[in-house]
Amino acid sequence: MPQGTPTPEGHYVKRVVLPSGKTIEVVYADSDTAVRPVEQAVPTTDRTVHRELHICRECESELVYPTEWEEAGPECWRVALRCPNCEWDATGVFPQELVDAFDEKLDDGTEQVVNDLKRLMHANMSEEIDRFAAALDAGALLPEDF
């Protein structure tokens, strides 16, 4: 059963705690779609429902990323996906748990890219220092160079 409460007007209200600690209420005007179970909100004919979202359905690449996402109900998200390897793209409605796992994969990927960037910057800086030291030893630097 979805978390939250229906209002007397037939709307559905969900409380969301923001990272700042503030709590907001999200009101869904269409209570029929807001309170339906996730199983009905996710297209059951789509073979992507139970697969990890970061894996491409065409080429099996693990580089799929979201181009858009928005809430599609109290416990599901509409996510537009794209594979940079084969240009596959699709949009679907997925349960919160699957989107949370996808978000963790994206965070892991971001961390890997940042770590690779730091290693590359360190390697480039080491190379520049070696060239600068060699130029100093060779007397190739003059005060006018600065």
80 & 60 share domain: yes
pLDDT, tens digit only, all 146 positions of the chain: 344 556 666 666 777 666 667 777 776 665 444 433 333 333 434 444 457 999 999 999 999 999 998 988 888 999 999 999 999 999 999 999 999 999 999 999 999 999 999 999 999 899 899 999 999 889 888 888 88
Q: Is residue 40 part of a domain?
A: no
Q: Is residue 136 part of a domain?
A: yes
Q: What is the pTM of this model?
A: 0.56
| C-alpha distance from residue 13 to each of 27, 29, 38, 40, 55 (Å) | 5, 9, 16, 19, 33
Among 76, 50, 77, 51, residue whose Cα is nearest residue 66: 77
- Range of the structural domain that residue 114 is part of: 46-145
Q: Is residue 92 part of a domain?
A: yes
**Side-by-side strand order, sheet with 23-28:** 5-6, 12-17, 23-28
Structure tokens that stand for 114 in this block: 């940042």
Q: Is residue 41 part of a domain?
A: no
Number of domains in the chain: 2
11 & 57 share domain: no
Give the model's pLDDT for residue 28: 66
- Under DSSP, the state recorded for 141 is -
127 & 104 share domain: yes
